[in-house]
Structure 1
Amino acid sequence: KVFQLLTDLKQQRKESGKNKQSSGQQNLNTIMYETLKYISKTPCRYQSPETVRDFLVAMKGHKLTK
């Protein structure tokens, strides 16, 4: 969800032309960039709500605890 949210937000900001305005905005841009960069290198980039739900259903029978 985080990857999709940040990707969508990045696209919206790109379309509106509001990439860099203030130092706070630059900080947000940096955080978004670093987070997207990190997430894109992990398997979670390919996860969807459906695959997570399917995994949880499959694991439910194993009675794992926290």
Structure 2
Amino acid sequence: METTKVNAAFLCNYEVMQILQQLKDSTQKKHKREGSLATVTYETVHYLQDTDCKKQNPASIKKFLDGLKNLKLTKTEKLMMVNTPPRTELEIQLIAQESEERLSEEDVRKIIKLANECLPANDS
């Protein structure tokens, strides 16, 4: 197998979890696949279910991304915020390079508010 288009699309953790759950369900119904693929699929789904993506859905992700449209963030930074929703100013500084120059204090507060409203934390 070879990659035809590098970075053709980015997937958030929620999308990866959905794809792997479908793969896991389809392999359970059919004959067993290679043990290593089943193990990787199981372990990845198990890990993702303990992250914030467990409580996400396509509508909440879209609402969050729509709220970020007018901010000076790259696609990669937005993806990182979906995967690990920032709850503090420090987390935004770690995700967005040169955030002090690119984002106002109001922008930072808006991102935190959006993350808390649209992408609730996984309490488990």
TM bin (shorter chain): 0.7 to 0.9
Q: How many residues align?
A: 60
Matched residue SS, 2:68: helix
Give unpaired runs (5+ residues) of structure 1: none
Structure number with the higher helix fraction is 1
Tell me the TM-score normalized by structure 1.
Answer: 0.75
- The Cα RMSD (Å) is 1.5
Q: How does 1:14-53 map to 2 (within 5 A)?
A: 14-16=28-30, 18-20=31-33, 25-53=34-62
Q: Which amino acid aligns with 2:46?
A: K
Deviation >6 Å, runs of 4+: none
Q: Shift of residue 26 of structure 1?
A: 0.9
Identical amino acids, percent of aligned pairs: 30
Q: State the SS of the aligned residue for 2:45.
A: helix
Task: List alignment gaps of at least 5 residues for structure 2.
Answer: 1-14, 75-124
